[in-house]
Structure 1
Amino acid sequence: MKYLLVALLVVHGLIHLLGFTKAFGLAQPSQLQAAISRPMGILWLGAALLLIVSAILVLLAVQWWWAPAAVGVVLSQVLIFTTWNDAKAGTIANAILLIPIVVAALGAAPWSFRSLYNQEVAVNLAAHSQPSKLLTAADTAHLPPVVQRYLAFVGAMGKPQVVNYRLRFSGALRNQPERAWMPMTAHQQSFVNPPARLFLVESSLFGIPFNAFHRYVGADATFRVRLASLLTMVDAYGAEMNKSETVTLLNDMFILAPATLIDQRIHWEELDPLTVRATWTNAGNTVAAVVSFADSGALVNFVSDDRFMTSDGKSYQQLRWSTPVEDWREFDGRKLPARGETIWTLPGGEFAYGRFELQAVEYNVTE
């Protein structure tokens, strides 16, 4: 869909150059029989540039591509009206372009999840302080040996303690085992003390954009999904969601911000030299996970029975949830898994519903 949109913007823009060439005598296109003055020719050129620039912005994934595109389409339609007999077919292209432009504009509206996510990030950044000391052996002395080895493996020792972390993912999602994967991008901003997690997913369903917003701030967690920033498809909240997102927070601590495992609220149980059970309480929710490691010190898998699956935000099913990871790389001076999956264990077997590839990470961001 992205490249079809780019192609339509470029072709429609290039066609508008015909009006400019005729106005300045550079060519006499047979498609335009009506006379075009030089001032009008400048407007034809302006419409062409607006549409072509919009196409470039779409390719660069610039969120506000729709703004110049909207101006270009309006200007294009005004020019078409002035040469209706010759250019009326361009109305079809403008009508087609108007659909993704309106959808993208709604995605940037103040009530959109993207806007709400940005507002929440700004509010929480203002309320959280920056780290004051480095992570030392004294901070990790109470941890099981395998977890200490893990912190050394990821390169957390001797670096600033983590107070927040920001990430960008690519990947794919599906909501049923038999469904096709839907490509997605995701943005996450998390905070350590007090814990908070903001997670925004951008994807599309049958070519129509949809956003999902996980918000866990204070004691309350919500999960909402909207189609085209207008139609709410899922609105999940309550005790099950609070507990589920507490599991997700603990999972993030292990996989995305291992330096935060020094949290004194985590109770540790060594199951064997390479496996621990971690139990953590936050905002009245106590959750546990079994975490396994490789001989190298790398984390292999995180498994919890305290998470709930929901497809509509109304009915919940408590199932085993696991997140195997692989392909360890360096991000912002620390080693993290570049790829991972999120898996439900259903009665009929495992159901991988999310595939994530880490694109960028920043620790202790300030803006």
Structure 2
Amino acid sequence: MRLGLALLIALHGAIHLIGYREWSKLAAAGLPGDRTLVPLSPTGSRVFALLWLAAVVALLAAAALQVLRRDAWWALALSGVILSQGLIVLAWPQAKFGTLVNVLLLLPIVAAAAHARFRDEVDSEVRALLVRPSEPHASSVDPSELARLPAPVRTWLEASGVVGRERAQTVRLKQRGELRTRPDAAWMSVEAEQYFSVDEPAFVWKVTTKMMGVLPIEGRDKYASGKGQMLIKAASLVNLVDAADEKIDQGAMLRFLGEIVWFPSAALSPYIAWESIDATSAKATMRHAGKVASAVFTFDPRGRMVGLQAERYLGGGADAKLTPWSVSCSDWRTFRGIGVPSRGEVLWKVESGSFSYYRWEILDVEHNPAGPYRRESGARTLSEPGPSGPASKKAR
């Protein structure tokens, strides 16, 4: 589709060479410029010819940038289309059919502009979240801090490798996976990035996918200052989901609590309290911004987190009801010395049975990063995954 659009833009630009050639000949011959809706003087005819050439340059350059996946292609294409349409209107009797092509090009250009705006807004949220606290260097996790924790939580933190290491203040990670919205819906491949603040709990999760393999979908889920919001857009233009209420707040808070498994030192945060259940499980209760959320973490004998269960609102609004929600882990890796779950799935327990709606894989995790992942020009995801540290440790 990308190459097809670039080809259409290039062909449209090439056709404008005809206008440039014709009006250059008229201007050179000194013929009256009465072939336009507004008569042109000889000087006006020369300027008119040069404007056709300017449209050629703008459209061909936009096509080249589209092929090279450069973000600026849409701005140049929009300038070319606007200029093209102005010339077509002035030379309407001869050039009116070019309007059809301009209308055809306008939708993907507007979608690209909306995508750039949405992306920049989310990037601004990410940059604000990653601002480090006044203490630039986080303290290390001391073994004595684990004494107050239930035995399985203590074993988990020791096995994860956080003891003696700098505790996480901010986090960035990459995911890929599969997502579906209904039990009978097809799986959609997704790519996602997530950013966390730990001392003041918050996250921003941004995801891209395609519906039916064609329609681009992008979304942003976030939690900040005790508030959650989920925003999902089709082609960056149409809101499919824009949810923010107390039930969404509870779901976002639970999500943060469950996802501390990717930065285990957060288990020691003052807003999280642990309660022993048995030798392999413990209950975590998070209190933040006047709200409370709890989940049960389950661990295997090696101290690896294998599951999480909680009651979470399914959806938002008046119809949302507390529904059993669970996360299961099936693989583990070590990133930069910290062992974390790297594969798993997320399920709802609905009346018809278990509804698995997200299968995830972690590709990179970094604590206290210098900033967001670097974005490749025109790419949907950000590049520059860091090294995964020691050799990966896997178990299924």
Q: TM-score, normalised by structure 2?
A: 0.73
Which residue of 2 is the match for residue 26 of structure 1?
A: none
User: Structure 1 residues 36 and 120 mapped into 2: Cα distance closer, same or farther (>3 Å)?
Assistant: same
Structure 1 position 50 matched with structure 2 position 55: no
Question: Which residue does the alignment assign to 1:128?
Answer: 133
Select which of 118, 121, 130 maps to 1:116.
121
Q: Does 1:70 align with 2:48?
A: no
Q: Counterparts in 2 of 1:82-93, with a 5 A limit?
A: none
Find the counterpart in structure 2 of residue 238 from structure 1.
245
The equivalent residue for 1:298 is: 304
The 5-angstrom pairing of residues 172-191 of structure 1 reads 172-191=178-197
Structure number with larger C-alpha Rg = 2
Please say which of residues 199-208 and 146-155 is displaced more in the overlay: 199-208
Inter-partner Cα distance in structure 2 for 1:11 and 1:363: 45
1:293-332 matches, within 5 Å, as 293-305=299-311, 307-310=312-315, 313-332=317-336
Say whether the 8 Å CA contact 1:10–1:52 is kept in structure 2.
no
For 1:1-367, what aligned pairs fall within 5 Å after superposition? 4-10=1-7, 12-13=9-10, 44=56, 47-57=59-69, 63-71=71-79, 94-109=102-117, 112=118, 114-126=119-131, 128-129=133-134, 130-205=136-211, 207-253=214-260, 255-305=261-311, 307-310=312-315, 313-367=317-371
1:209 and 1:216 map into 2 onto residues whose CA distance is 24
In structure 2, runs of 5+ residues without a counterpart are 26-48, 372-396
Contact (CA 8 Å) 2:58, 2:76: kept in 1 or not?
A: no
Give the Cα–Cα distance (whole angstroms) in 1 for the partners of residues 66 and 54 of structure 2. Answer: 18
Find the aligned partners of 2:173 and 2:73 in 1 and give their Cα distance.
23
Name the CA distance, whole Å, in 2 between partners of 1:291 and 1:51.
Answer: 52
The Cα shift of 1:214 comes to: 2.3
For the 8 Å contact 1:327–1:339, the answer to whether it is kept is yes
Q: After TM superposition, give the deviation of residue 324 of structure 1 in Å.
A: 1.3
Letter in 2 for 1:301: G
Unaligned runs of 5+ in 1: 23-31
Q: Distance in 2 between matches of 1:94 and 1:36?
A: 23
Could you give the per-residue CA deviations for residues 303-355 of structure 1, whole angstroms, max 9, x where no partner exists?
Answer: 112x1001x64421111111112332233443333322221111111111122
Please give the secondary structure, in 1, of the residue aligned with 2:149: coil
Structure 1 residue 102: Cα displacement: 0.7
261 and 92 in structure 1: CA distance in 2 versus 1, 3 angstrom threshold: same
How does the TM-score come out when normalised to structure 1? 0.78
Equivalent position SS for 2:130: helix
| Aligned residues between the structures | 345
- Shift in Å, 1:101: 1.7
- Comparing 226-235 with 10-19, which one deviates more in the overlay? 10-19
3-state SS in 2 of match to 1:316: coil
Q: Does structure 2 conserve the Cα–Cα contact (< 8 Å) formed by 1:321 and 1:342?
A: yes
Judge conservation of contact 1:167–1:189 (CA < 8 Å) in 2: yes
* CA pair 81-242 structure 1, distance change in 2 beyond 3 A: closer
Deviation at 1:177, TM superposition (A): 0.9
| Paired residues of 1:214 and 1:221 also in contact (CA < 8 A) | yes
1:175 to partner: Cα distance: 1.6
Aligned-residue identity in percent:
29
Cα distance, 1:68 vs. partner? 4.0
CA contact (8 A) 1:47 1:72 kept: yes
Structure 1 residues 154 and 85, CA gap change in structure 2 (3 angstroms): farther
SS in structure 1 of the partner of residue 68 of structure 2 = helix
RMSD between aligned residues: 3.6
**CA distance 1:181–1:95, change in 2 (3 Å):** farther
